Amino acid sequence: MKRAESRLSELSVQVNRAGWVEDNFITDDTEALSADAQDQATAVTTELVEQAARFEGLKMPPDLARKFMLLRLSLTAPAPKDPALRKEMTKVSTSLEADYGKGKYCRKPDDCLDITAIERIMGSSHDPSELKDLWAGWNQVGAPMRDRYVRFVQLSNQGAREIGFRDTGAMWRSGYDMTPDEFSAEIERLWQQVRPLYLSLHTFVRARLSQHYGRDVVPPDGPIPADLLGNPWAQEWGNIYPLLGMPAKSSGYDLTELLKAKPVDPRGMVKYAENFFVSMGFPPLPQTFWERSLFTKPADRDVVCHASAWDIDNQDDLRIKVCLQVRDVDFVTVHHELGHNMYQRAYEKQPFLFENGANDGFHEAIGDSIALAITPEYLQKVGLLAQLPSADADIPQLLKQALDRVAFLPFGFTIDQWRWKVFSGEIQPADYNQAWWDLRLKYQGIAPPMARSERDFDPGAKYHIAANVPYVRYFLAYILEFQFYRALCHEAGYTGPLNRCTFFGSKEAGAKFEKMLEMGQSKPWPDALEVLTGQRQMDASAILEYFAPLQKWLDEQNKGQKVGW
């Protein structure tokens, strides 16, 4: 196992370096170099998993047994043993991600928009014909991926079966210290906890959009059209806040305006995020972080703009790759990404196979629990906000947050509900697109703005599908971040309404936080959760407590409206 971990660590650095260059300089050559590095790492990992099979059933010390389990689960896309098939799978998977990164919609020959430009326009436009056009234009990026995605599923499933799993989806769900079926049930339990809050929000938003666009565009008793919710995927709805009829400046401040008035540039936004962690006792980021990270989209080339945090050498070469704009949502994003970096550094002394989050939801939740503490009190402490808004601004602020965090919840596990069923064969290639929209209707209450067919492959227009990144982690993160946040507030000695807490500057909260982070994946996640929260079960009661004032207000606004679709 020591030899295996040493080899895997070396290969991971090669993969990280090649992946960093590919994402930052998208060419056929960098794509090929990244594919070669991934192929080599996949081959070695697959071989090690095969060698490990001879120890199955052997009684081992818990730490060693855990390493063997994590080794089996370490491939997001397990490849077939056959070298030719393995190479084919690597080529297919890198081409899907590159297609997404190079994707553009050309409204005219001289007016081609990448996803960053499309997101920006859809975030501010309230013209339904323009939104529908952009939505349809971006979703075209998925259609050419369809046949390759079918092949990718076949090859990945073959690889998963060869190392003892039913399919790739079952393998993904095995990484949570419970069986795949127990994990599916756990996700459904958490969703049922938060579903009433989501329904209250959906009902309110639909009514206000129906008033704004008209009943013929947004029926007041049906699903919401997917192009009208502020971004290409209808995954977070914060951009439509101005359409919801709240009084002007009712939230007391506009963070985007505060950042621009300061003025703060993208690098300065990253500095604010770093300072939050430093205020809690975490050491500053290394100088190489500032020299090697990408903060803004280069003018001269395509890059994969999807925000990501990197630990290139599993030690101190920490970086982020983001295409920041000076706006509130990116201020939150950069806190999230630095959360990954702080976690990566906290567990750097763990053995290689334990250098990860306690479960993948933990990794996503770390920075977001910090982002929740970006309250008016915090903004005042760091000199961005001169005067605290009055208490009656709480509802507008909570509504803004719910439009992102609560609206996201069903989207957060629908992506993987679809993939689990694709991998298991319950959804066949002939029904990929129909099944996608059936699930989004069932859980999110949204529908495409125009007829879709199986000539389309709308899942491919979402980065995590094209890049084969498991997604349910984000759903878990949105539950866990509130659980972490409540625990950190208690540790900092805060006793008021949960939604007003900030623990900026609390060394006590920071020490408790770091104690959990440095465990990495060395113990089952309930052990790590208990260190910070005292609980051993993921629990949505914290998110419900946080948004309780809003839900009461929403239910009053929704009287007489049909709830659901």
Side-chain half-sphere CA neighbours of 264 within 13 A: 25
Q: Which of 31, 119, 236, 337 is catalytic?
A: 337
- pLDDT at site 251: 65
Q: Whole-model pTM?
A: 0.87
464 noted as active-site residue: yes
Query: What is the number of other CB atoms lying within 10 angstroms of the CB of residue 170?
Result: 20
- pLDDT at site 250: 67
212 noted as active-site residue: no
The ranges of the chain with pLDDT < 50 are: none
- Taking alpha carbons only, the member of 431, 418, 368, 455 closest to residue 233 is 418
Side-chain half-sphere CA neighbours of 380 within 13 A: 11
AA identity, residue 543: I
Q: What CA–CA distance (Å, rounded) separates 562 from 554?
A: 13
Q: What CA–CA distance (Å, rounded) separates 117 from 105?
A: 10
What residues contact 81, with CB distance under 8 A and at least 6 apart? Answer: 46, 50, 159, 162
Q: Which of 202, 335, 336, 363 is catalytic?
A: 336
- Taking alpha carbons only, the member of 189, 19, 173 closest to residue 94 is 19
Residue 563 tokens read as 């709830």
- pLDDT at site 72: 87
The residue written with tokens 């694709």 in the block is 422
Q: Which of 35, 41, 309, 340 is catalytic?
A: 340
10 noted as active-site residue: no
Q: What CA–CA distance (Å, rounded) separates 319 from 539?
A: 32
Q: Which of 198, 253, 432, 474 is catalytic?
A: 474
- In three-state secondary structure terms, 115 is helix
Q: Which of 97, 119, 274, 364 is catalytic?
A: 364
CB of 397 closer than 8 Å to CB of 251: yes
Q: What CA–CA distance (Å, rounded) separates 449 from 215?
A: 14
306 noted as active-site residue: yes
Q: Is 165 left (phi over 0), alpha (psi -120 to 50) or beta?
A: beta
490 noted as active-site residue: no
Q: Which of 43, 136, 143, 307 is catalytic?
A: 307
- In three-state secondary structure terms, 447 is strand
466 noted as active-site residue: no
- pLDDT at site 50: 86
Q: Which of 31, 170, 274, 306 is catalytic?
A: 306
307 noted as active-site residue: yes
336 noted as active-site residue: yes
Q: Which of 130, 464, 518, 530 is catalytic?
A: 464
